[in-house]
Structure 1
């Protein structure tokens, strides 16, 4: 055991393609809503995939003044907004905190890609107008750690401040690092999360080039179909998720509402391939086993697994194999689902947003569905909660997030009981 300090979640914020708040996100999942549609953010005529899961009706000026917004890449805008939602939801009042309290609040907030929109725009300016026309804010807008920096400056939080970047495992890695810092007594509270805004010609074109994306242009809303035999790749999404983690006694002292407790974490590497998962899911097995071990529970305690489930031909099978290896016969007794079927793949934000989905499953005792299922795949034969949500008591939920480079992460959440 690392220590006996307990870590709970007391606030959440979310910007997703199916809702611009935690409540809207939950409502969208319960309605089995697809966030995929033809791309509106840029002219997609030159890319093979012409659809994505974009944020709908997001107006940054509702949350930030125009001057501030102009100096932030969209991924940092999303991070600041989701963090504000999270803090407001928690009931924490930063303006009333002492300097000592603020020194014990940190921010670990990451992005898998960072300011790719800024990079794209400034590259065009450099080519067409020359380097002397590059914005002085180019580098600060580009770097992935800037979101954590802006959140800390906004609220005066002076605890540990950085981002962990691990591709599509980023959101989970930032959550795990935050958990470990509190667990080890290096912070009392942490804002943890992930953000991504890479739906532009460069981002979509890049993923098309490595053949990762679905090209189901005739039916965008059904393109993200994890575990379906006709799946042909993931659907890009954008957005952010933020969570406030607190040491239990600190949370209780201020009378905070508690969503759940974080009890187990796991990390590993495939050591196999830059983009493809290990075909037997060996890295995923190691991560889930570590999470169970650190939670000090047996596999049969898990009620729900929010799978990485990207809707890729190889990934869904490898993760299914890993779950069967870790859970044995209990694998068939759990509910599993991929909420990416509704939100698309939020890349660096996925782990944070899916942590929120897992926590809401615990709070509501209801399993979000995997939508768009039509054709059975004999290699994917578990209970993926197809097409409609399902009621079930959820005491423990496990959330997986894996990333290019062979990064694997798992987090276990437990229903909080006094």
Structure 2
């Protein structure tokens, strides 16, 4: 990987408050006191029924309180989603203690509060609202519905609205009135650690001053049956790093933190419990479920976190390990720590919180960060409970069975995931940051390649032709107008690679291959993968779960289960193409592709990668179609002009200096972006379009572009009046030039959900290539819950931006 260019000043990031709910009860302090005492909360399940499963134990939350924010009533729902409840409960604790308030509109300014648009949310989850989908399946079975060619019909069950990950992020935004960037991240067991990393970049870039960050997951049948199918569950509480370990224990809960720019926290007089000193991300590119045996990818993430913190391996006395208790994972992590720390590994303490509360999947990164931070505060290394005998395959100091006093000013936390997604974050006690190393990269981000599959279009040129001809083959399906992908998306993928790849993964790999080839680039450790998907792998989830409903836990397929995580497609891209740089998966609904582009932009601007394959992809699964019908927005008169599509589009993004060194001519410059929220909740937009307007103006400001300079706006309009009207009114207020065109690609080719922003970008770039106005263009992407991302593309021959 190339050296980071053009260092520039960077904001310090502090943590002002913590919130948690786990099997140890409600409250971050309660969690810490029980963990430091070595108390194990992994017990026989009482509320989740998993009949026929021998390992029916876990870190279950019994009788949790309901959150103050009622997300059910506005949707006409009655059955709460536990993952959402847990996130809100942990967030209530964190926000109450943050020391930085949220200013209501038109309120006088206060030194201890920020305007709502300077507050954001970054939320991570593995399964998000899958428990609601499971309940919908069982209701359908109880009602006697039968399986047709598309699988089990769930009917118009509006509780399916609670399934998408973005719902929880937008519930958090609405609950506290936070109108800045709102992101949902789904990288399986590394989700909330990745959410924290993305939040750090939002604050450092100046797009927000404070972020509510964390993760949540509930216990689900899918998780139990899935881990049982791959023989990873233990029938006793997990014993990480111990010689007799035989599997993991699942847990439920949420952890939330408030991250604030240091100068803002100090001005507000807010408490500072820790600083975020550095983070590292990488992809194994090795296997869908198993880590690299030597921990190569994980070691790169750990070393990157230490390096960006301005530290050396000798500075790290404690690591809160991923420590699941599975034989392969614990040994691989220990090898990774040895590789990353060298001789210093002989002195580090590596312990596992999962031995006491279970594996919280997407919430693990946040909850374990809280334990790490409070351990720093008390200079106490928490224990690994249940440890019986040292295993030479692990061999590091795991603080067996008892907490230990340990002088430390910094500590790290590891989280690794299915698909080979790795993360490590380094935290410090207040005042630990070294100002001489606080720097970031500044380099333009350019587009060098495009790959596309949408409808009958098999590449970017065919996509342009379909757009110019206004030619799309739509079908009607139970009240919805659909554009299906023609042909087999995996036909060019080697048979060995595609054998256990689902259709979503095939689509992502196919377009990533095209985009990589178009860029003339060979993937390596410096090439990352960021995927945006609004629906995710619902086909794989249904194919895995439905047989277990009919035949019990043993019917769960170990071949399908790895594809039930939202980041499976990104993992497949990394494995097939060898892109082992930072990887992430954004799930911001219909704005997922735009969020992915923003995340890739930040990773490149921060010098975290040389290039990123940035994909938007979604397939039209039966569960997804049932959810769209049940939402009521897409059928009947309100949805008569709406066209839903499936497909995948990938852009190769690079740092400009790297592209120049390769002798490659960019096809576009990604000049800036911004994300905002209406903070009104799921399926609700500000009818005045003020949130969209803020996103557009902030993106233009970051790009150094005046609205009057725009040659075109590629809108998010899709034929839904409740969504299209506010955007149209917002664009009108920009006072564009008379020559500025407004394009509505989704109205012509269909709304490809998570690929909408990539669709508009591909067409905008093709328009330049075919003789169109070479002026800058603005592209909008919006979720159905009022999260908006806008970004600016500039022709590479145009003058550089003013920033």
TM-score range relative to shorter protein? over 0.9
Where do residues 3-402 of structure 1 align in structure 2 (5 Å cutoff)?
Answer: 3-60=9-66, 63=68, 70=78, 72-94=80-102, 101-129=115-143, 130=145, 134-138=156-160, 140-197=161-218, 199-216=219-236, 223-402=237-416
Q: CA deviation at 1:134?
A: 3.6
Q: Which runs of 4+ in 1 moved over 4 A?
A: 63-69, 95-100, 130-133
- Does the CA contact (< 8 Å) of 2:277 and 2:308 recur in 1? yes
C-alpha deviation, 1:64, in angstroms: 5.1
- 2:424 aligns with one of 410, 413, 416: 410
CA RMSD across the alignment: 1.9
Q: 1:102 and 1:95, CA in 2 relative to 1: closer, same or farther beyond 3 A?
A: closer
How many residues end up aligned between the 2 structures?
A: 409
Q: Distance in 1 between matches of 2:251 and 2:168?
A: 18
CA distance in 1, matches of 2:272, 2:105: 20
Structure 1 unaligned blocks of 5 or more: 217-222
Number of the residue aligned with 2:725: none
Greater Cα shift, 42-51 or 338-347 = 42-51
Instruction: Give 1:17 deviation, angstroms.
Output: 1.3
C-alpha distance in structure 1 between counterparts of 2:354 and 2:296, whole Å: 22
Give the TM-score normalised by structure 2: 0.49
1:147 shift after superposition: 1.2
Return closer, same or farther for 1:141/1:66 CA change in 2, 3 Å cut-off: closer
Q: Which has the higher contact order (CA 8 A, sep 6+)?
A: 1
Cα deviation digits, residues 212-233 of structure 1 (max 9, x gap):
21123xxxxxx21001111111
Q: Given that residues 263 and 414 in structure 1 are in contact (C-alpha distance below 8 angstroms), is that contact kept between their aligned partners in structure 2?
A: yes
Q: CA deviation at 1:35?
A: 1.1
- Whether contact under 8 Å (2:117, 2:180) holds in the other structure is yes
- What is residue 220 of structure 1 aligned with on the other side? none
In the superposition, relative to structure 1, how do residues 183 and 254 fare at CA in structure 2: closer, same or farther (>3 Å)?
A: same
8 A contact 1:12–1:244 mirrored in 2: yes
Give the deviation of 1:146 after TM superposition: 1.2
SS at match of 1:264: strand
Greater Rg by CA? 2
> 1:210 and 1:415, CA in 2 relative to 1: closer, same or farther beyond 3 A?
same
Give the secondary structure class of the aligned counterpart of 1:45. Answer: coil
CA contact (8 A) 1:266 1:288 kept: yes
| Offset at residue 333 of structure 1 (A) | 1.4
Give the secondary structure class of the aligned counterpart of 2:286.
coil
Structure-2 change in CA distance of 1:2 and 1:377 (3 Å):
farther
How far apart in 1 are the matches of 2:380 and 2:78?
A: 40
Q: Which piece of structure 1 moves more, 400-409 or 377-386?
A: 377-386
Contact 1:126 1:134 in 2 (8 A): no
Q: Note the alpha carbon deviations across 1:221-278, whole angstroms, 9 max, x for none.
A: xx21001111111100000000100000100111000011111110000000000000
